[in-house]
Structures are given as C-alpha cells and as structure tokens.
Chains A and B, each alone.
Chain A
C-alpha cells in the first residue's frame, strides 16, 4: 500500500514464492527460473548475493523495496512462508490504487496546488523577472496572489514550506491520541477497511504478544498524548481505530464482549468477521472479502477525490498564470 514500493513487485514476489514452493535454495532457484526473462533476471541477480549471504528472505525483499514494513513483519511471523508470500504477491498484483492520495487528502491537495504553482514560480524566476523588477522599482503593488509571482524564488520556498508544514501536520495529527480520528473524516470507509484488513492479517498469525514501543512513541505514550499504548499487541492501534469507526455499526454489548477477549482471532470470530470452515477460521475468505470492500470503498471515494484534486491543480495553475498578468493590469490602470 506504500507509494515507495516497486511498481512491478508482484511478478518478482510470485517468482520467489514459486521457487520457495519448489523447496529449492532461493538464490539459485530464482536465477535459474528467471534466466529467459530479462526483467526478472535483472532482479534475480540483484537479490541473489544477499540471499546467498544468509540474510533472511523477508529482509532482503524489504531492502529491495519489494515488501512494506508491515508485510515484512507478517512474512517473518508466518510459519507458512510460501503461503504468506503467495498471499502478498497476489494482493500486490491488484493493489488498491490511489489509496495514499485518498487517505492523506490534505497533503494531496497541498501537492495538487503547490506543484503547478511552484513550477510557475520557477519558470518566472528563469525567464520573466524583468517585469517584476520594473514594477517593484515603480512601487506598483499587487494583491496577495500577485505577490507570489512577484517574488518567484521566495514564493517557491514558501510553497515548499507550506507543503512540508501540511505533511508534518498530517503526520503529527495521526500520532496524537483523540486528534488522530480527525483524519478519518474524508475517507472513513477506506480507513475502516484498511484497519480491518490489518487486523485480519495479524489475527491469522496469532500476533498477540505485547510489543515494546520505539523511544519516540514510548515518550509520547508516557506524556499521555501518543496514539500508541505501551505493552500492547502490535494490532492495538488498528483495533482502536476500527472500534472507533464501527461504533455506530456494532451493538455496545458486542463491542464490550469482544474487547474482553484477549486474542484478536477470537474477537473477530465473535464479531462474525471471520466464518469457520470445518471448525477452523476461514481467514482467506475474510481477507478476500475485506480486500473487495476496500477496493469498493476506494473507487467510491475516488469518484469525489479525483475531481477535487483536478480542480485544485487547475486552480493552482490558473491562479499563478493569472497572477503573472497582475503587474501588467496594475501598470495599465496607473496609465
């Protein structure tokens, strides 16, 4: 789900899974499997040395940007490496596209506005400074947007700073207890399914042991403002997010009963999220259904988010283009 992962990772992960299923040494098997494919063989020769050196396969794949941190943790924890890798590979083949843009909408909007505007500023800085120096010397004042194109380099810096501030603000709000729920306003359905998907993935691994927080999160938790709680399972934050987002959907009694269970699998079974197949929880069906709902939620929210982002790009572009004319209009009106 990360934008930083390799776009064609599904093919490579599927190839690794294929080799692992054949119980061959991963490095040699990968090299022989991909011999006829120029794209995959490039990847095989890149991964093989690290795999031969004895580094665990999840770490090697993570370093090559083929796995996210969350997926690496799942792969390392799952007893059935091949099945887990298969699942990740098939999920990577049809990833929920555009999820980052929807979940971080303020940052997306800031980018949509700031990038075309910054491009204009830099273009002006390269070519059209004379007019602005002239109007400056004449003491002609322009409006607030006009001033942006008036001082292109400073404006580019300002826009960059604004972008950084919004990105940092988004990240900070997500880390603060209580406040972080504000970030669900623009895509509650997407956030709900993302949290549930992660819960299902942790539940199938029985990932219920408490984890130690890193120093920053631990410090925030001690102050009482952090979104993470010490000595809780790794899924604790996702559980609380999902509980918050389903507070109008589940009955209070059921919420209370499920919260009293210690392990996540029994909580999800009690809530009916996972069916049992011959007495065993059917995690595959639950995960597939959740992924379908996530795709559905994403395409629904993209209906609105896409035009909004396009409109913001257009506003940024046209706003700066019009502001270029502002000094000319002022000169004309002075004359």
Chain B
C-alpha cells in the first residue's frame, strides 16, 4: 500500500516539477533572446504614448512597468529610466535603445519620428502599441510543438545515456560492431547528451530571428504613420524628408510617400491606404495562422520520423548482424 501511494504521489508531483523546471529554463532563455518580445515592445510603447499625452515623466512610466513585465525587462526598464534621469541630455528613443527595449530594426524609424517632434513620436508609439487582430502569436502556436520535441529529445537523451551504452556493451561481448551503422549515428546525433542544449540554442536563435523579422514586415506601415502624423501636425515637408532620409530636392509629399513605399498623392489618400494596408495585414495574419495550424503538427513528424528510423534501423542492423554471426 505504501509503495502504491508513493507511486501515485509521484505521478502527481512530477508534472508539477516539470512545469517549475520548464518555467525556470524559459526565464533564463529569455535573457539570451536577441530582440525584445513583441508584447513587451507594445506595452512599453503604449505606456510611453500615454505619458507623453498626459505630459508626465517618461522615466516614471518606465519604472511603473517593471512589476508588469517578466525578467529581464525590469532590469532593462530601470536602465532606460536611469539613462533618462542622468545629467547628460538623452532622448526617449536613445534611452529605449540603451535599455534594449526597441528592436534594432525599429530604432532608425523611432529616431525619425523623434526628430519630427513630440506629437509625431507620441502618435508613432501609439501605432506601435496597437496589437494585431490575431492576438495569439505564432510563437504561442509553435510552443506546444517545441515542447513536444523537447520531451522527445529528453526521453531519447535518457535512452542514449542510460540504455544505449548497455547495447554497446552487449554488442562488444558478442563481437558485434554497429557503431558505424547509419541508424546508430543518427541516434547519437539526435539523442546525444548535448541534444537538450542544442535544442535550447536552436529555440533561442529561431525566436530571435522571428522577433527581428516580424518588425521588418511592419516597417512600411509605421513609416507611413510617421508621414501622416507629421503632415497632420503641420511639420514642413522639408523636415519630413530630412527625418526620413529622402533627398531634399524631391521634398514634396508625393515623393516622400513614394520613397516610403506608398503610391499616394496626399495625406487623406495616405490615411486610407494605411487603413487598408492594416486590414490586409490582419487578413494575411489570419491566413498565415490557419496555414501554420496545419503545418505545425507536421513539424513534429520530422523528429519522430528520424528517431523512428534510427531506432528501428538499429534493431534491424542488430538482427542482421546476429544472423550473419550465426
């Protein structure tokens, strides 16, 4: 009875332990991601826009976000707030850059908006803070697949470390050499003791690349927002051209819009084009999600196929070798 109860308790407490360990590993991994998470960028941008609107200190707004964001963002927020408080003159965007709270691909755009005045910058931050209609990110959808792959890798690591050496020993005792067998090599690659670390590095690289790429896709819209809010706030076209790096010789609104990727002639047309572009981007997001939901489970098939090939290939190799031996 005692061992049965212990077994049942183990079955209950092991899943809790797994959740705690994965949480801890993910908290450490977050620090190594190259760019900030989209949610963090949106939250910071929204809060700064609100502070600018209410003419309040940005550093207080940044400090107020520290309890709301997970590690390592509290440290980064404090760094940005300290940079704003320091005696040397520093702009909001520079402080965010110091705190690594803006993706590298967005910094030039943010600086352009900042050069055009606080109204344009506030409007730009507000545009950044707007969440996409498809709130559930691809990252969230791929997480179960990655977790399952991680579980498979961990089980295979266990196999590789504790069980496979016994097979090798047995093989050596009956003068069998299967270390050169292709399947065995696959198993060693996929399930070796370093497989877990390899998986962690792959996830960090993939997430970093994705967080960089996702903002690249939205740059055209955000550039359009800068032009629109600058025109509406009465900023001269020369200044807009200078801020966006368009040659001053062509400093008409049409040429600025063309240089920014918008084939429109005036501000109203730009506003309509921006709205329709956002709508289109949302629609593409929905389609991408639908495709991804179909493709994501197929991703699981790859490691399962490779491991299945490795394990069964190995068994067949052993049987063949035994037949040859006899």
Q: Which residues of A contact B (CB under 8 A)?
A: 105-106, 109-110, 112-114, 144-145, 147-148, 158-159, 162, 166, 185-189, 192-193, 196, 242, 246, 248-251, 254, 271-277, 285, 289-290, 293, 296, 299-301, 303-309, 311-312, 315-316, 319
Contacts and interface: CB of A to CB of B under 8 A. Distances in A.
Interface of B: 1, 3-5, 7-9, 11-13, 15-16, 18-20, 22-23, 39, 50-51, 54, 56, 60-61, 63-68, 70-71, 74, 78, 136, 140, 143-144, 147-148
A300 B22 CA distance: 12
Contact of B68 (A166, A293, A304): A293
Count chain B CB atoms within 10 A of each CB in A109, A148, A196, A277 and give the residue with the most: A109
Contacts, number: 116
17 contacts: A105-B19, A106-B13, A113-B12, A144-B4, A148-B4, A166-B12, A186-B23, A196-B67, A196-B68, A251-B78, A272-B66, A277-B54, A285-B50, A293-B68, A303-B144, A306-B144, A307-B147
A301 B8 CA distance: 24
A106 B16 contact: yes
A277 to B, nearest CB: 7
A109 B39 contact: no
Contact of A303 (B20, B50, B51, B147): B147
B68 A289 contact: yes
Contacts of B5: 158, 162
A58 to B, nearest CB: 30
Contacts of A271: 63-64, 67
Contacts of A188: 23
Contacts of B147: 303-304, 307
A303 B4 contact: no
Given A113-B8, A315-B11, 13 more contacts: A112-B15, A166-B12, A185-B20, A187-B23, A196-B68, A246-B67, A248-B71, A250-B67, A271-B67, A275-B64, A304-B143, A305-B19, A308-B18
A301 to B, nearest CB: 8
B71 A105 contact: no
A306 B144 CA distance: 9
A316 B11 contact: yes
A312 to B, nearest CB: 5
B12 A110 contact: yes
A109 B8 contact: no
Contacts of B4: 144-145, 147-148, 158
A307 B148 contact: yes
The 10 tightest CB contacts between A and B, nearest first, are A272-B64, A249-B74, A144-B4, A308-B15, A110-B12, A246-B67, A303-B143, A186-B19, A109-B12, A109-B15
Contacts of B64: 271-275
A145 B3 CA distance: 9
Given A272-B61, A275-B51, A303-B147, A312 B15 contact: yes
A200 to B, nearest CB: 12
A277 B51 CA distance: 10
A243 B54 CA distance: 28
A151 to B, nearest CB: 10
Contact of B60 (A249, A272, A296): A272
B3 A144 contact: yes
Nearest to B71: A248
A277 B53 CA distance: 10
A88 B15 CA distance: 34
A187 B5 CA distance: 26
A308 B19 contact: yes
B138 to A, nearest CB: 13
Count chain A CB atoms within 10 A of each CB in B39, B61, B70 and give the residue with the most: B70
B54 A275 contact: yes
A317 to B, nearest CB: 12
Contacts of A296: 39
A6 to B, nearest CB: 27
A109 B16 contact: yes
Given A186-B23, A249-B74, A303-B147, A309 B61 contact: no
A277 B68 CA distance: 20
A143 B136 CA distance: 46
A186 B20 contact: yes
A275 B15 contact: no
Contacts of B143: 303-304
A99 to B, nearest CB: 15
Nearest to B56: A275
A189 to B, nearest CB: 6
A149 to B, nearest CB: 11
B54 A249 contact: no
Nearest to B9: A162
A306 B15 CA distance: 11
B194 to A, nearest CB: 24
Contact of B8 (A105, A159, A250, A306): A159
A300 B23 CA distance: 10
B23 to A, nearest CB: 7
A181 B71 CA distance: 19
Nearest to A274: B64
Contacts of A254: 63
A189 B70 contact: yes
B24 to A, nearest CB: 9
Contacts of B63: 254, 271-272
Count chain B CB atoms within 10 A of each CB in A144, A189, A299, A316 and give the residue with the most: A144
Given A113-B12, A162-B9, A272-B61, A304 B22 contact: yes
A275 B68 contact: no
Contacts of B9: 162
